[in-house]
Amino acid sequence: MSGIKEHDYLKICAELASFLTISIAAAKKKIDVVAAKKGARDISSRKEIAEILLAEARKKSSSDEKGMTNPLDSLLEALAEEENFMVED
């Protein structure tokens, strides 16, 4: 039965990683840090924490106008004063 729970936990970790555009290992580490603060040690507690983090990320993304799914796009936008900047050799 623990294999099924671990599968569900890994699935939520993968969803969180995909949503935040980070690796699964980074998502698991993020969950581990929150779980350590709360003293959660079993898989079911970590699964609940992962679901909470995923819901918070979705809520934050829906409240932001650009969302969390495209952070690179916002970093690549040129500022008005930098639009015509040209580097000379």
Per-domain residue ranges for the chain? 2-69
Q: Could you tell me which residues come within 8 angstroms of residue 38 by beta carbon, excluding any fewer than 6 positions away?
A: 45, 49
Q: What pLDDT is attached to residue 34? A: 93
Q: Apex CA 15: angle with CA 43 and CA 41, to 5°? A: 15
What tens digit of pLDDT does each residue of 69-83 get? 566 666 677 666 666
Q: What pLDDT is attached to residue 60? A: 81
What tens digit of pLDDT does each residue of 58-69 get? 888 776 655 555
Report the alpha-carbon distance of residue 78 to residue 65 in Å, rounded: 18
Could you give the maximum distance between any two Cα atoms of the chain, in Å? 65
Residues of the chain with pLDDT under 50: 1
List the alpha helices (DSSP H) in the chain: 2-20, 24-38, 43-63, 71-76
